[in-house]
Amino acid sequence: MPLGVNRTRIATASLRGRVSGSSLRNPELTLSAVRADGRGLLVRCQESSPTFGLLVGVLAALGTHEPPATSAGAVGALVRGFRGRGRRAARPRPRRHRGRCRSRRARSRILRLSSAGSNPRSRLRPLPYAVPPPCYRRVVGSSPTRGALSADSRFDELLRRLGAIDDLVRAGTLLGWDEETKMPPAGADARAEQRATVEAVTHEHRVDPALGELIEELRPFEEAHDPDSFEASVVRVARRDYEKAVRVPPELLAELERAGSLGYRAWLRARAENDYSIMLPHFERNLELRRRYVSCFDYDGDPYDVVLDDYEPGMKTTEVQAIFDRLKERLVPMIRTVADHEAIDDSCLHGSFPRPAQRRVSLAIIEAWGMDDEAWRLDYTVHPFEVSMAINDIRLTTRFDEDNIHGLLSCLHEFGHGLYERQIDPRFFRTPLADGVSSAVHESQSRLWENLVGRRLSTWRFFYPTLQRELPAFGDVPLETFHRALNKVQPTLRRVDADEVTYCLHVILRFELERELLDGRLDLRDLPEAFDAKMREYLGLQPPDLANGVLQDVHWSDMSLGYFPTYALGNVVSVQLWERAEADLGSFDEQFERGEFAGLAEWLHDHVHRFGRMLEPQELIRRATGSTMDPEPYLGYLQRELEELFGAAVG
């Protein structure tokens, strides 16, 4: 049942810290259900607030048992206690205000939620008067004033602030996960407003000037610690995030979130009805907003550098283009040579495969790889993805079609993402370090488990009996036939169904189109034909409809430009990591045949996962593999795989 507050109820807050006119500037806040008595901050909700209530519920679902370190979460704790106990609730007495508070920052106006929401009744409103809260030093008691705080105390304060931001980010993620897995379609408009509100509140915390001052004050603290230490890494990454966040107006971020949510529902409808006109206005709106986002940053040359940096920090478009030029140079001839060989029969992969049976097979595999019921779950969606609410709350999604088993491979892919986030150092929880270092490194993990492990013959020597038991159609299919079918090289319409050789060309054509859209060389009205033209040029295929053409991917529903290149870059990095792991541990085939996959998972933990965002992407790759991002190992791997598959030189 949605949480809300009756319009007639008033509560008072005993405040620790500073409050701005629209958001709490210090996340350490305690709220009590007490009467207005002139000793604290008065808040009132004008009417029942479903948006606010959902935010509170989201924070509660994240497992916030102590008073949440956010303004919205703290008010949520107040609301639940007030409604449950009524006016006779226990009322802790706040400290008396003795004398005039000298700090202007300690003065307060009335608390209200962000004004990003369009419904004035769905947020806290200011009372017609304000009561100054106790002075900061008086509330804290014996603690020194801010100016005299030790470096360790400042760092603790930074961790509290960053924890509040992380809670809000995960809350927004939970709203997105629910929208794509559980939410009924009619909830789309309300969810768009809810996500916009959460994004606005999150951004206010991210760009709080006090946070920037704190980070700057900690510069000597950072320099006094080893660059690879937890302390120095937290300050360094927090500074980078802050410097990016302050460039973007909160109104723009809220509108990006709102427009993206609406675009997703339109994308579902346009695919189903094969009608581009349904999606076009959403494309136009989201592209306009994305260009406004780019304009918030300084860049030399290519505007695509801005969106690329969101997913691959520090990398330039010219670097990606150089790698992709090399891939195209080698992959196109490979594909042409493969076309001259007799096609591999993959008919065994197509038939009637019940979804529950596919799910059981998928779970059997990823549980053997490291998934468990305590910290993971698997749900259905239109376009598979993975998100984490915490290091011990990993959520995979997939799509099973009953006429093929491609959904099984998507589960293996998403598992790779999940294992990365599951194996991040637990110390990083509720800090900006508790995430993948970049999207390319993240994709390297999913592609490694999907392709280098999931398509490997030794892997299926162990799992094939399970597949045959759950899907009897494979009972008479020899393992070698199944393995060759699973590794068939043939251009496909859909990127997610592509083989290892043709996959990167799907990505490259999207990268090229995104650059043209962003800089205005390509009009959105011409996007379907431009997409089809590149499909014909690179893969020799003509999409028969929008669902197999320009609308096949969810990424453009909100114009999330810059992500697609990381898929191909992830392929490149995956082979670099695989070869180094084998050099360190020896061939994995004997282990895989026995169902032993922990050795690989542990190596990835030690060399990639545990670092989270502690290192820069290229530095992480260099330490793990001995070199920076290099396409040659990947191209060599494909060459060997094709020669083994066809028994002759290819390319």
Most distant CA pair in the chain, distance:
89
Inter-residue contact 624 to 605 (CB < 8 Å): no
375/605 Cα distance (integer angstroms): 17
398/413 Cα distance (integer angstroms): 10
- Nearest CA to 316 out of 544, 515, 470 is that of 515
Question: Which residue has 């494309």 as its token pair?
Answer: 283
Q: Which backbone phi and psi does 616 adopt, to 5 degrees?
A: -70, 150
Inter-residue contact 422 to 405 (CB < 8 Å): no
3/77 Cα distance (integer angstroms): 11
Judge residue 478's burial from the number of C-beta atoms within 10 Å of its C-beta, 0-12 exposed, 13-18 middle, 19 or more buried.
exposed
8/420 Cα distance (integer angstroms): 48
Q: Give the CA distances from residue 355 to residues 94, 125, 401, in Å, rounded to whole numbers and listed in that order.
A: 58, 49, 7
Of the residues 193, 257, 414, 450, only one is catalytic, namely: 414
* DSSP label of 347: G
Q: Residue 600: how many CA atoms within 13 Å on its side-chain side?
A: 26
618/505 Cα distance (integer angstroms): 23
Query: Could you give the residue ranges of the DSSP H alpha helices within 26-107?
Result: 50-61, 71-85
H-helix or E-strand spanning residue 307: helix 304-311
13/60 Cα distance (integer angstroms): 20
- Nearest CA to 493 out of 528, 458, 545, 441 is that of 545
Token representation of residue 154: 């400042």
438/342 Cα distance (integer angstroms): 40
- Cβ atoms within 10 Å, residue 468: 17
Listing DSSP states for 575-631 in one string gives HHHHHHHHHHH--SHHHHHTT--HHHHHHHHHHTGGGTTSS-HHHHHHHHHSSSS-S
Inter-residue contact 472 to 288 (CB < 8 Å): no
Q: Tell me, yes or no, if 616 is annotated catalytic.
A: no
465/536 Cα distance (integer angstroms): 40
Inter-residue contact 75 to 132 (CB < 8 Å): no
* Residue 122 DSSP SS3: helix
- Nearest CA to 24 out of 32, 11, 13 is that of 13
Token representation of residue 569: 């870059």
Token representation of residue 644: 């083994």
11/113 Cα distance (integer angstroms): 15
Would you name the residues annotated as active-site residues?
414
